[in-house]
Structure 1
Amino acid sequence: MEGYRDMSERNRTKVHVIPHTHWDREWYFTTSRSKVYLVKHVKEVLDALENIDGFHYYLLDAQGSLLDDYIRWCPEDEERIRQLVSAKRLMTGPWYTQTDQLVISSESMVRNLYYGMKTAQKYGHAMKVGYVPDAFGQSAQMPQIYREFGIERFLFWRGVSDNTNPHTEFTWEGSDGSRVFAVQMPFGYYYGGNIPENEEDLIPYLEKQIGALERKASTKHIYFPNGFDQAPVRLNLPELIKRFNALDTEREYVMNEPERFLAEIEADSQDLPVLRGELMEAKHMRIHKSIFSTRADLKQQNNRIENLIANTLEPVLAISHSLGHDYPHRIVEDIWKLLFENAAHDSIGGCNSDTTNQDVAFRYKQAYDIALNLLDLHMRMIASTIQQEETFAFTLFNTLPYVRGGVTEIEAYIPEESFVIRDTKGRELAYTIVEKVDQTDYVLGQHIDLNPSRKVHLPERVYRAKLLVELQEVPAMGYTQIVFDFSQGAAPVIERRNEDKIENEHFTIALQANGTLQITDKRSGQVYADQMVFEDNGDDGDSYNYSPPERDLIVSSAGSQMSATTTQTSVSQTLSLRFTLDVPYDLEERTAGITSGALPMQVEISLRKGENLIRFQVQVQNEVFSHRLRVLFDTGIASALSIADQPFGVIARPTSLPEVEVWEREQWQEKPITIEAMQSYAGLNNGTRGMAVMTGGVREYEIVGEQMDTIALTLFRTFGFMGKENLLYRPGRASGEKIVATPDAQLLGELSFTFGLHIQTSGFDEANVARAAREYLTPISSYQLCDFLNGRLIFAFRDEALVLDTDYSLMSFSNDSNVVLSSFKKAEQSDGYIVRVFNPYLSQSANVNMHFNQPVHAERVSLGEQPLEPQQRLTDGEEVVRLPELAHCKLMTVLVSI
């Protein structure tokens, strides 16, 4: 560490010049271009660090992926990089990519840090700084996440303004109470990127630039970043620093890097203010708060894959490993890393060129295909070795830690014959066939007889079908089987009627004359009228911000003429609606009040037997431009706070902001708005009843209405340019490139959305909303074991020894447990299993007793799966693991060894 020249100089400002780059892996340019130029850049950095006297440090944007990208093409430089990283001169980590923190899932952020630190440590050192130069806001749970990875210092730009904290240093306290030492780069990571060379320009430059930083600082330490986006290294920076010191004798200038800088400034910081919760202010820098719904199609793909990996794939792989199969660590790592490439703030934001977003979409396709086929393989390896005589069996996998039942959807290939479905206890299960398509020639034409001596039944006809089956008991974190019995049974009765009402044990839903729904909660007698209003309005924004046009025309589905039919079976009832919204074709028509465009819509509202959830499936044929579509649910609860989930917990946010009265006068960078992010649910609750929307799609909501009583869930928004100037919600310059047209972002064509409505008859905590959302996003998975499918269609398998029981449970939570499971997977560094849970409640504590199918050893570990000091052993050779009580928003990770 470079120190002061003598004790008499301690009152002088010490300017820490930090050479760095902010290297977007893609943006208006593609990853291919970025990687090609990265090679040139890193070679220049290595040469500068090795050969230029006084060039001590360089910060490579805290993204370990950049070194992986470089080494892939320049393996000859790996040893050079190891030496520089080990010496803490070339700084990288803790991230793998510079991730978003608000619409990315909690497990995605954890894995990003895990693989980022693993990558950096592979080269010699992982920077223990929460370095976030450009993410669009900071999640309230990041202090806890950072501390779990041993990161106690935070360096960032966006999210804090002088009305909250006038200085650059403060203590940041997260939702759970965890704290980190925080330093803001108040004018951005690029603030010192354009140092003039001429002496007559240099003196006034330093006075202006450093003087502004001094007025923001609460100590004598100044962070002065030299670099900006994809910028070349300033090779004469050591000479410039010498000139700074010669010209400006009132200050001391040194080259430094973030870890050393933060250690010095923290040592000199006293009586720091404490900032709590999310950092989302946009007074001095743009947060792009409504970017949560940009490119809804890509957001949907991300959320679908994140849920598939963490909720289903990893638990099934852990179950498979417990039964003797290898755990495919490297394949899972590759899936996550594909997602990390898309999790970078611009990539997940969707604020890119169309060409770049096509690359994003392709990575999602790759990740989903690998994940789905890996899941299929391991379910098959289990299903094909279960002791069974049936030739038409389905193995059902429950990846939640408690027994599940109820109506679930199963995809299957079925013959034409009638059948009954039975579980392993011989009980007949009610079911219905939702749809089926004849695929006889395709399926039977691909059958392969590996053993012609073995008798195989080939049906005359084969249908690809979708079934709803009422299950009784699927073991916790395990599997069971159901079999199709063709010796008896009749086709299930399906009644289709031109009616407008459906019901189950919990709700009656009726279509009202004005085209909205009336929902009657049978449990409480509460009637919710005028529900499910689709609202379309103009979007004059760009890829960063939703912004209404100066003259908007809002079109509502309330009052629309709808055609309605119902489908009623023994396990479900569905209300199907068709209607068309007459909307403006584009922004010009919207300004003129013309509605020559049409938005045809189909909506299915479904109630499953016994389920306290209303399911919605919406299809929209979008052929109009620059607009936003939301769906509204009127809770009848006037509230000053909304409730939504955030990473590893819940957050209550204000439904209105006082800053909206002064933002224009104070010249904020963006209008303060209450369009917010969620992980899976958002809603209102008054302590005795409530309502929440749940989605695996776009994670954006707003509370609207004169009484702030209506939940608005964004389905999608469309626009035509990457950046635009002078928006109503974002005055001034364009964000991004204003000349880059984005016709793909108009999302023309058929769009599909699914979401659920959860109605509560109690306070929020008592209703277990988080658990209901987790169940909604974690369907029971199934694998069909059937002789006639064995062939090219699914790749042929040989006959395996039948050794597994028909029912299996690896672990379960006790009935009185009230935590939410975040992750169940094999440990990265041992044969044990990782169990991660968190407290999902607003006010009550949470606890859990875990039961395993054999004696285990268990201890608490960090998010990085490292032992805690001192060691926190929970059990040693018992089947029950009792976890300590979890306070508000607390998470806990446990390593269980069998």
Structure 2
Amino acid sequence: MKRVFVVTHTHWDREWYTTFEVYRQRLSILLSQLVSILKTEDTFRHFHLDGQTVVLEDFVENDGTKEEFFELVRRGKIAVGPWYVLPDEFLISGESFIRNYLYSQQVAKRFNVPLSRVAYLPDMFGHNAYTPTILKGLGMEWAVVWRGVDDVKGTSFVWSSPMGEAIDTVYLVHSYSNAAHWGQDEEHFKSHLLSEAKLLTSLDPENEPLLMNGTDHEMPRPDVGKILKEISNEEMKFVHASLEEYVSRLKKPRESLSGELRSPKRAPILKDVLSARIWEKLMQYEAERLYLHYVEPLFATAKLGGIDLPLESLWYGWKLILQCHPHDSLCGCSVDEVHKNVQDRLARAINHGKAILVRALLEMCGKPVDKMGITLFNPTESEYDGVVELNVRLPEGEWRLVSQDGRPIECVLFPTEDVQKDLNTLIDFYSHPSTIDVFKDQGRWYRCFLKTPVQGLSFKQLSFVHGERQKAGTFESIFTIQQNGTLKAKHDGKSLENLCYVEDVEDVGDEYNYSYACKEKYDSKNCIAEIETLIDSSFFKRVEARFSLEVPAQIAADRKSRSRQTVSIPFRFVYTFHRDMKRVDVDVFFNNTAKDHRMSVVFPLKGLSELISDGYFGPVKRSIQKLEGDYSSWSELPENQFPTYWFVSVPQYRMTIVPKGLREVFVDEKGLHLTILRSVGWLSRNDLITRPGHAGPGFETPQAQGLGEHKASFSILLHDDYDIENVYKAVRECAIAPLAVQARFEKLPRIDIGVEKGFLSAFKPSEEGVILRLFCPDGSEPSMKTTRRAIEVDFAEEPLSEKTKIKHVKTWLIH
């Protein structure tokens, strides 16, 4: 007799087609009913609470601490976690994924409940190539996935990262809703359970079937246990069980998959959420970058110096960020009101992060001695020798910048009226006893640009002194600006022209998927740009190109063509060239006045066969496919469209693009595209060419059109010596500049940790000490040096075991 395991659950989207506060009341009703069911129905053995612990916080905030409920969790009748939220895997960093688990541990400790040890990942829009690395490093033994899987015949497989870390994986062939009751009457529900069990048995005769009895926000049937007993027969015994019980019965999978799970063949991966509401992705990038590369390292430095800053303040900011990571939130595929809340949380996290960063500086360095200098902090493992940019306020007169030993520092000062209230203002606000001193007129505002080497994991202090500024010099860049505002360069024996032209095409899709109607494209190659040099110094140059692109105002009423009415979209491309490197930084400012379209910056690189982008702890190779087959049976049309986080690299051209928060690239006959905006007006539609059927409710979302002002930033790097380590080093120098503030402090901390091999992934405080994590993208073993006591730990910050050991990623707890 074959046993059929039935796991009753609900899939809890915290916010989606309505707001969190509306959903929360349904959550309260569900959990209250669940407690009653478990008290009165002996045959109802277990409930799986969607792998999240954020629901515990949400429930308690609304209903108070219900001990009856938590006792059921402690007794194993309700499973929670292991995650705080179910995050999208392509829009966050690997370190954020780990913080997600660590914060869930805190929630579990607060409520004294156990966390599930099954890595439940049921509805992510595809899976990162290095998710197995994360799961192994956290000590997980089984994962559960649905979307993105292809070429698996059964219901389980071994899933490996590109570096070889592996985890046994349950494949939800027919989704996490394959045994939902859908409000059906008892007979229909029984029939559905029997037919699904038989179908899964035929697909995988060796394993016992898994029926997931639940779906989005579905309330459990009290009589499910009774029904399972009634439909059990000599051939199949239906068992009400937990995921833990199910995986304990599974055999070692025979099939295997490696790397990214992002095939749209069997289930839609809703791939264009990478560019829906792109402005939120940019805020998320800013928030993650702030906490991972500035706030946490400063907190860690303070702890090494014997200063215990409150970890609660750090976790408060992370909590705001993590609550934006579920796919319906960060992916931009909810109603407009939800995304107002997402942006509010991200803005609060960024403001909070800047505030606690400044407080950490003041705790470590003491009050500023004066404002006649600049303090720099390099949070990376390598020396930085690029341009640093910040606002400064100086008395009238001529000023130059010198090092502590009096040597001149390359520096240019440009008077500015466009002053943002930045970290300098916070330093004044927190260090003055009377706030009236913060707003005194203290001279003239300048935009300051400087170039000086800063060692990795170190502080450096510079001083302003009276004296004539260095005479402005100039240099020749490998890049030149053409008449249409694009870039031209000769590199590696190739002539590169029209780099960074803009292409616009209609988008009749929804928040989940781009879709086309007539493929009517407009581009800026024939525009005439006004070109103006903004800054021309001895070590960097900044040039602006201005033009307008005329495009259709929106899609036509029949949605089969673009409207005849046109609008003008003004663009400003601001290029920053560097003296000592083959790199250009690009800031794109534009005012979107059109609807129903997609805009990309194009790099016309011909004959592309492979790209390399980054996963959580290493590179991901991406082959460019000739998509000429019959895909009519697929859940989504395949495209050469890919997610990216830190970079996308083109080995054939020895070129790397650093997208700085932009998350989507695609390749077509014109070359490589970086999406800078996608404007759509619907949460979901059922008339797309690229995806059959709805992906959610058919609600209008006018704010997803993204009308108004936008800014997108990226950099272009050209490599002389192309290998993956050089790519990572150049990208990190481009993306993580030293922190710079206008102040000279009483003291500067010294960090007695050095990175011998590898790149810094985490430098953060913990309850017991400081966590340092390094990775080597070439698969070799990282190493560090310190005079302090250090022990190796896993990603969960527990003692390392053979089960959690990862060769190319190493983590230390330093006391």
TM-score (norm: length of structure 2)? 0.93
| C-alpha contact (below 8 Å) 2:384/2:737 kept by paired residues | no
| C-alpha contact (below 8 Å) 2:52/2:81 kept by paired residues | yes
2:71 alignment partner, one of 56, 69, 83: 83
| Alpha-carbon distance between aligned partners in 2 of 1:723 and 1:169, rounded to the nearest angstrom | 31
| C-alpha contact (below 8 Å) 1:649/1:839 kept by paired residues | yes
Question: Which residue of 1 is the match for residue 760 of structure 2?
Answer: 821
Task: Note closer, same or farther for the CA distance 1:774–1:439 as it changes in structure 2 (3 Å cut).
Answer: closer
1:82-109 deviation line (CA, Å, top 9, x unaligned): 4222222110111100111112111111
1:113 and 2:92 equivalent?
A: no
1:720 alignment partner, one of 663, 681, 694: 681
| Alpha-carbon distance between aligned partners in 2 of 1:197 and 1:634, rounded to the nearest angstrom | 54
| Correspondences of 1:421-820 after superposition (within 5 Å) | 421-437=401-417, 462-472=443-453, 474-485=454-465, 487-490=466-469, 504=476, 507-521=477-491, 526-549=494-517, 551-566=518-533, 567-588=535-556, 591=561, 594=564, 596-636=566-606, 638-656=607-625, 658=627, 660-664=628-632, 667-686=633-652, 690-705=654-669, 710-731=671-692, 733-738=693-698, 740-765=699-724, 768-785=726-743, 802=746, 804-805=747-748, 808-814=750-756, 817=757, 819-820=758-759
Task: Note closer, same or farther for the CA distance 1:283–1:391 as it changes in structure 2 (3 Å cut).
Answer: closer
Question: Which residue of 1 is the match for residue 90 of structure 2?
Answer: 102
| Alpha-carbon distance between aligned partners in 2 of 1:144 and 1:331, rounded to the nearest angstrom | 29
1:205-254 deviation line (CA, Å, top 9, x unaligned): 34433222222224241111111111112111122112212xx4421011
Question: Which residue of 2 is the match for residue 264 of structure 1?
Answer: 249
1:395 alignment partner, one of 356, 359, 375: 375
Tell me the SS of whatever aligns to 2:789: strand
1:3-38 deviation line (CA, Å, top 9, x unaligned): xxxxxxxxx231111111001100011111122221
1:34-64 deviation line (CA, Å, top 9, x unaligned): 2222112111112222232121110000101
Task: Note closer, same or farther for the CA distance 1:695–1:397 as it changes in structure 2 (3 Å cut).
Answer: same
Task: Note closer, same or farther for the CA distance 1:203–1:361 as it changes in structure 2 (3 Å cut).
Answer: closer
1:895 and 2:813 equivalent?
A: yes
Once the two structures are TM-superposed, the CA of residue 147 in structure 1 deviates from its matched residue by 1.3
| C-alpha contact (below 8 Å) 1:478/1:808 kept by paired residues | yes
2:797 alignment partner, one of 861, 865, 870: 865
Q: Which residue identity lines up with residue 720 of structure 2 in the other structure? A: T
Once the two structures are TM-superposed, the CA of residue 374 in structure 1 deviates from its matched residue by 0.9
Tell me the SS of whatever aligns to 1:467: strand
| C-alpha contact (below 8 Å) 1:476/1:811 kept by paired residues | no
| Alpha-carbon distance between aligned partners in 2 of 1:696 and 1:893, rounded to the nearest angstrom | 26
Tell me the SS of whatever aligns to 2:57: helix
| Alpha-carbon distance between aligned partners in 1 of 2:10 and 2:647, rounded to the nearest angstrom | 37
| C-alpha contact (below 8 Å) 1:553/1:593 kept by paired residues | no
| C-alpha contact (below 8 Å) 2:774/2:783 kept by paired residues | no
1:839 and 2:797 equivalent?
A: no
| C-alpha contact (below 8 Å) 1:440/1:462 kept by paired residues | no
Question: Which residue of 2 is the match for residue 155 of structure 1?
Answer: 144
| C-alpha contact (below 8 Å) 2:386/2:733 kept by paired residues | no
1:143-172 deviation line (CA, Å, top 9, x unaligned): 1211111111111221124xx112112221
Question: Which residue of 1 is the match for residue 395 of structure 2?
Answer: 415
2:329 alignment partner, one of 347, 350, 355: 347
Tell me the SS of whatever aligns to 1:34: helix
Which deviates more from structure 2 when the two are superposed, residues 208-217 or residues 257-266? 208-217
Once the two structures are TM-superposed, the CA of residue 509 in structure 1 deviates from its matched residue by 2.2
| Alpha-carbon distance between aligned partners in 2 of 1:570 and 1:467, rounded to the nearest angstrom | 14
Once the two structures are TM-superposed, the CA of residue 127 in structure 1 deviates from its matched residue by 0.7
1:803-853 deviation line (CA, Å, top 9, x unaligned): x35x73432224xx3x22111111x230x2211111223xxx43444233x
| Alpha-carbon distance between aligned partners in 2 of 1:577 and 1:393, rounded to the nearest angstrom | 34
Bigger radius of gyration = 1
Identity of aligned residues (%): 25
Tell me the SS of whatever aligns to 1:71: helix
Q: Which residue identity lines up with residue 767 of structure 2 in the other structure? A: Q
Once the two structures are TM-superposed, the CA of residue 448 in structure 1 deviates from its matched residue by 12
Tell me the SS of whatever aligns to 1:741: coil
Q: Which residue identity lines up with residue 143 of structure 2 in the other structure? A: F
| Alpha-carbon distance between aligned partners in 1 of 2:41 and 2:456, rounded to the nearest angstrom | 61
1:848-869 deviation line (CA, Å, top 9, x unaligned): 44233xx212221100000023
Q: Which segments of 5 or more consecutive residues in structure 2 lack a partner in the other structure? A: none
1:60 and 2:45 equivalent?
A: no
Q: Which residue identity lines up with residue 83 of structure 1 in the other structure? A: E
Tell me the SS of whatever aligns to 1:188: coil
Which deviates more from structure 2 when the two are superposed, residues 308-317 or residues 565-574? 565-574
| C-alpha contact (below 8 Å) 1:290/1:676 kept by paired residues | no
| Alpha-carbon distance between aligned partners in 1 of 2:288 and 2:429, rounded to the nearest angstrom | 34
TM-score (norm: length of structure 1)? 0.85
Q: Which segments of 5 or more consecutive residues in structure 1 lack a partner in the other structure? A: 1-11, 496-501, 787-799, 873-883
Task: Note closer, same or farther for the CA distance 1:317–1:201 as it changes in structure 2 (3 Å cut).
Answer: closer
Once the two structures are TM-superposed, the CA of residue 785 in structure 1 deviates from its matched residue by 2.6
Question: Which residue of 2 is the match for residue 879 of structure 1?
Answer: none
| Alpha-carbon distance between aligned partners in 2 of 1:745 and 1:211, rounded to the nearest angstrom | 43
Once the two structures are TM-superposed, the CA of residue 525 in structure 1 deviates from its matched residue by 6.3
| Alpha-carbon distance between aligned partners in 1 of 2:123 and 2:19, rounded to the nearest angstrom | 18
Question: Which residue of 2 is the match for residue 876 of structure 1?
Answer: none
Question: Which residue of 2 is the match for residue 877 of structure 1?
Answer: none
Once the two structures are TM-superposed, the CA of residue 772 in structure 1 deviates from its matched residue by 1.8
| C-alpha contact (below 8 Å) 2:776/2:782 kept by paired residues | no
| Alpha-carbon distance between aligned partners in 2 of 1:174 and 1:438, rounded to the nearest angstrom | 47
| Alpha-carbon distance between aligned partners in 1 of 2:240 and 2:305, rounded to the nearest angstrom | 55
| Alpha-carbon distance between aligned partners in 2 of 1:459 and 1:89, rounded to the nearest angstrom | 62
Question: Which residue of 1 is the match for residue 238 of structure 2?
Answer: 253
Task: Note closer, same or farther for the CA distance 1:592–1:406 as it changes in structure 2 (3 Å cut).
Answer: closer
| Alpha-carbon distance between aligned partners in 1 of 2:531 and 2:184, rounded to the nearest angstrom | 73
Once the two structures are TM-superposed, the CA of residue 674 in structure 1 deviates from its matched residue by 1.8
| C-alpha contact (below 8 Å) 1:412/1:467 kept by paired residues | yes
| Alpha-carbon distance between aligned partners in 1 of 2:92 and 2:122, rounded to the nearest angstrom | 17
| Correspondences of 1:873-888 after superposition (within 5 Å) | none
- Count of residue pairs brought into register by the alignment: 806
| Alpha-carbon distance between aligned partners in 2 of 1:56 and 1:439, rounded to the nearest angstrom | 62
Question: Which residue of 2 is the match for residue 789 of structure 1?
Answer: none
Question: Which residue of 2 is the match for residue 240 of structure 1?
Answer: 227
1:582-604 deviation line (CA, Å, top 9, x unaligned): 11111129925746211110011
| Alpha-carbon distance between aligned partners in 2 of 1:457 and 1:310, rounded to the nearest angstrom | 29
Q: Which residue identity lines up with residue 824 of structure 1 in the other structure? A: F
| Alpha-carbon distance between aligned partners in 2 of 1:84 and 1:458, rounded to the nearest angstrom | 56
Question: Which residue of 2 is the match for residue 796 of structure 1?
Answer: none
